[in-house]
Structures are given as structure tokens and as C-alpha cells.
Amino acid sequence: MATSTHTDETLPAGHRYLDAAATAPLRPEAFEAMLNVLRSGQANASSVHSAGHRARAVIEHARAEVAQACGVRPTEVIFTSGGTEANNLAVIGLALAHSRGRHVVTSSIEHPSVLESCNYLGRVHGYEVTQVDVDQMAMVDVRRVEAALRDDTALVTIGLANGEVGSVQPVPELMAVAASNGVWCHTDAVQAAASLPASLATGAWPGANVHAMSIASHKFGGPQGAGALLVRDGIPLEPVLHGGGQERGLRSGTENVAAIAGFAAAVTAAVRDIGTRALALAASRDEFVSQVLATVPGAALTGHPTERLPGHASFVIRGVSGESMLVALDAAGIAASSGSACAAGKDEPSPVLLAMGVTAEVAQTSIRFTLHEPLTPAMRERVVTVLAREAARAAR
């Protein structure tokens, strides 16, 4: 297993970083790839001189690496500034390009970049949007998606896994139903693709019924500010950004060559051992979840107990503010999260937990731990001790 340039090393001595779902530690392969580009001298990949050609070669090599890792052709990789832009391009671009109609199906627990893109389609372009409900484990039922389909449905967009509670969706089954009805299918794989083998190759997971998939560099241990939308050849896409016509006219803007190189290096390194790493993380996660539930008063796991991301453990702890718990954990040298980093700083209960049927009061007690490497027994004990202490203190 490749050694990571762990975020732990940038924290004070003894601190541990358990917030990989927000941003994974930078991999040394990504760091070196970016340094190589920066040392060679900055150039615009659209320029016709030799320096521009070198920059273009870096981008096309990175495109081939990402394509190979994700089971697509290089022509099916569109580089973006990250997962949010990739989701915007997918939802808006696919819906506007499909002549089938003005109806989109999504779920109530999607990332804001998906939900807000759907809202934009409704507000500006007159689309109807159906949000399919989820169950208490944040799972989307295939029958609900099938029932939501109409003759004018252009797009179904369901995330491969939820970043807040870790539930992994039955996307192959969901998309098979949609695709068989002539509907284009997009999945936000930003959280899932970095920790589970995710490929659009025939016979792979999530498989050939997915027409477009979003991924982001910083979840793989690459730099922030880079990502990609994978779109199958032959599927038209309306651009969201207009300008100089980069990325085959589908995403204008001067490419961030160094970030793209780091992104590809991180993806290549991550997929090399992604299966064995997932098994190790899942085993560590299960031990941690069991100890929390057995030791911490009022703790309950959120999300599906088994169909979840391998390094993801999320809880609500009745009677304890999630924010106050984060402060206590940070004081003990543990970096965690109270949910999605995209919603940080908002004094509101998580929409994902509310959609699962959790009350607003309990939803505000949420806490999330996402691992980039298995926990040592000592670190597991340290985290559980803080959680139990704060829960007991709140119960007095």
C-alpha cells in the first residue's frame, strides 16, 4: 500500500485526521506530479509553441490515466474544477441536451450541487423535478424511481453514495430501470469512487447503464480544484461554461495543468490497491462502530449498517450538540466533522437526516468520522473515550 502524505503530519503532534470525506490527505504521487509540472515552467495548453505542447501532453496523459482507472475512453473524460462543477455540467448539460422532455428525477438526499442544479432547471427552464424519498437508512428504492419515470423524463441523477451517512445506493439497478426507458442516467460518484472500485466498463460497478459519472480529485488524495465528468461518447451535452472551447467545447477555461496532473496521479495510485484498502477500512470501521454503540450513551448509527462506504462511520448522539462534540474532539487532537463539509457553519439540521425521518433536534447531534487509514486500537479508544465522556457530561 502506497504511503500517503497524511494530513496528520500537518497537525500538531498526536493529532489524527478523521475527516477524509471532506478532503483526503494529499498523496505523495500527486504532490510529485504537480511539482514536476510546476518545475518545468507554466504554459497554456492551448498555445502552439513547444511549451504549450508540453502542457497539452501532460493533460492528455492525465486524461488517459483517469480513463483507464474509471473504465472509459479518454474521449469520455471532461476535466472540471471539481465535483460541484462536474455535477452542474452533468445535470444541467444532460437535461438541456436531451430532447425527450423537461422532467428530472433525483433523490431527496443528493449533494447540494445536484439539488441546486435541478432547482435551476426548474426555475429558469421550466423543468419539473421529482425528488424520490429515501428510507430510514438513506436508501433509494428502485420501485420509487421506476414509479417516478414519465414519458418526458430526460434524466435520472442519483448519487453512488451519500457523503453524510455513507449509504451506498443500488445504482446499477436504479439506472437499469431508467436506461431501459430511454432516460439518461448520471451518478455523483465523488464520495464513492475514491474508496470503492467504480467503473463504467461493461460488467463493472456501477456499470454500463450509467451515461455520466462525476468524480473529484481531492477525495482521491489529489489537489483541490480539479475533477472530471465522465460522459459516454455519443451522449450530447450542453456546456455550462462558455468561452474558448477547451475540453472539446464542453468546458471552456484555461486548464489547471498542475492540478490535473496531480489528480490523475492520485486516481492511479488509489485504484492500485482500492479493493484491499476498502476491506481494511471496513474492518476498522466495524470495530469502531461496535465500540461506539456499546460505550457511548445515546449513540445511534446513521445510514445503512452494511451497505456503506468502507471508512465511513456516522452517528447521532442524543442530548449532545454535534458542534460541541467537534470542539471536544479537536481539543483531544481529533479532526472530525458534523456532516457534509459543504454545509459547515450552518446552524440548521442536516437535510439528509431530516429526509431519513430523524427529528430536527436529534439531527443536530450528528457526528461523522471518515478514515483514510485503519484506526489503531489506541486511537479508537481515544475517540470513544471523548465521545463517552461528552455524552455522560451532557446527560447530567
Task: Say whether pLDDT at 10 is over 60.
Answer: no
d(CA 199, CA 206): 6
**How do residues 120-130 score in pLDDT, each as one tens digit?**
999 999 999 99
Task: Say whether pLDDT at 27 is over 90.
Answer: yes
Give 334's strand partners.
16
Task: Please name the residue ranges forming H helices in 185-273.
Answer: 217-220, 257-272
User: Whole-structure pTM over 0.75, yes or no?
Assistant: yes
- pLDDT band, very low/low/confident/very high, at 6 (cuts 50, 70, 90): very low
Res 5: pLDDT: 44
User: Is the bond into 206 cis (omega within 30 degrees of 0)?
Assistant: yes
**Number of H-type helices and E-type strands within the chain:** 13, 12
Asked if residues 56 and 247 have their Cβ atoms less than 8 Å apart, the reply is no
d(CA 7, CA 15): 10
Domain ranges of the chain: 12-26+274-395, 28-272
**How do residues 168-186 score in pLDDT, each as one tens digit?**
999 999 999 999 999 999 9
* Nearest partner of 371 among 328, 317, 327, 313, judged by Cα: 313
d(CA 247, CA 384): 47
* Nearest partner of 333 among 374, 289, 379, judged by Cα: 379
Res 4: pLDDT: 43
The CATH number, out of the four listed (2.130.10.10, 3.10.310.30, 3.40.50.2300, 3.40.640.10), of the domain defined by the range 28-272: 3.40.640.10
Evaluate the CA torsion angle 177, 183, 184, 188 in order and state its sign: negative
Q: What's the rounded mean pLDDT across residues 82-109?
A: 98
Catalytic: 342?
yes
Task: Say whether pLDDT at 338 is over 90.
Answer: no
**How do residues 278-304 score in pLDDT, each as one tens digit?**
999 999 999 999 999 999 999 999 999
Residue 226's SS3 state is coil
Fold adopted by 12-26+274-395: Aspartate Aminotransferase, domain 1 (3.90.1150)
Return the amino acid letter for 338: S
- Percentage, residues of the chain above pLDDT 70: 94
Greatest CA separation found in the chain?
71
- pLDDT band, very low/low/confident/very high, at 348 (cuts 50, 70, 90): confident
Task: Please name the residue ranges forming H helices in 221-359.
Answer: 257-272, 274-295, 322-331, 351-355
Task: Say whether pLDDT at 262 is over 70.
Answer: yes
Q: Which of 70, 118, 185, 342 is catalytic?
A: 342
Kindly list the strands in the beta sheet with 366-370, ordered across the sheet, starting from the edge strand earlier in the chain: 299-301, 312-317, 366-370
**How do residues 182-214 score in pLDDT, each as one tens digit?**
999 999 999 999 999 999 999 999 999 999 999
Instruction: Tell me the average pLDDT of the chain.
Output: 94
Task: Say whether pLDDT at 369 is over 80.
Answer: yes
| CA distances for 251 relative to 2, 92, 116, 195, 210, angstroms | 33, 13, 19, 27, 21
β 227-231/312-317 pair status: unpaired
Of 63 and 347, the structure prediction assigns the larger pLDDT to 63
